[in-house]
Amino acid sequence: MSLLKTSLTGLKADSFRHPLDLEATKTLKQIPGLDMMVRNLLGPMAEQVFYVENIASSILVGEKQLPDLHKLLLEACQILDIDPPQLYVRQHPAPNAYTFAMRGKQPFVVIHTSLIEILTPEEIQAVIAHELGHLKCDHSVYLTPVNLLILAAAIVPNVGAVLAQAIQSQLLEWVRCAEFTCDRAALLATQDPKVVMSVLMKLAGGSPSLAPQLNLDAFVDQARAYDDISKTELGEMVKSARTAQLSHPVPVLRAREIDRWASSQEYQKLVQNHGINYKSESPSPGGWRNW
C-alpha cells in the first residue's frame, strides 16, 4: 500500500511537545541531583544490564533480519528527522515497547513479540514512532529512573528505597505527560489518527484473535464517555486516584488526546509547514502473520 506522507524536515521537539510534558519536566528539573544520579549511579549500571540482556535474549532488526520492520523504522526516522536507533524484538507475553538511551551512547528501542502479534504494519510503525518521540524529546534522562527506581531498593538497598519514595510520584506524573507527547510523534509519523488510536484500542483489549474484531468508532465513543466522568467532582477524584500510580495514562484518555490534536490547527500547520512529500511503501499484510 502506497501512502503519500510529509517528511518533517527540521522538526523540533518543542513544536509537538504536549503542554503537560513541558510543565512536568520543569517540575522534575527542580529535583536536586536527579540528572547526576542517572548519569553517575543508575545510568552506567543500566546501560550494561540492558545491553547484555538485549544482545543475549532479543533479535536485532536490520536489513538482513526482519527487513520489513527495519524499513518501518527507517521511514519513521526520515519523517521525524531523527537518526535511527537500534531496534530489537523480544519474546515476551506482555504487549509492550520501551526505549533506552544515555547521552553519547547508542540508543535502542525494544518491541515485545506479543505487541507485534496484534498490530498491522502501520500500527507497528506508530509504536516505533512513539518510542522515537522519547529520543527526539530527550526524555532519556528521566526515563531511566522511571524504569529503574521501582527496582532501586533491591539494587542499592541503602539508597534506592529513599530515592524511590521521594521522587517516584513525580517521575510517574512526568512519564504520563511524556506519553502524550510521544503519541503525537506517532501521529506525525503515520499521519493518520485512526492508526494511533487503533494501537491504543488494542493495548486496552486486544489479542491475536480479538484485535481484528475491535471497532475503533466504538472505542472513540468510549473515550468521550471517559471525559464525561470529569463533569462531577467525585468522578474527577476517582480518575485521579486510578491513575496516580500508573506509568502511562489510560488508553482511552490517550486516544481522546490524539483525536483532539489531529483536528487542531496546530497539528495541521505543523505538517503543512514542513518538508517534502514522498510515497511510503508499507509492507503488505501478507508479509506478516495473520493480523
Q: 88-119: b or e for each residue (b if 16 or more CB lie within 10 Å)?
A: bbbeeeebebbbbbbeeeebbbbbbebbbbbb
From the list 75, 122, 131, 173, the catalytic residue is 131
Task: Tell me if residue 131 is catalytic.
Answer: yes
Distance (Å, whole) CA 223 – CA 176: 17
End-to-end C-alpha distance for the chain, whole angstroms? 16
C-alpha cell at 109: 528501542
**Residues forming the active site:** 131
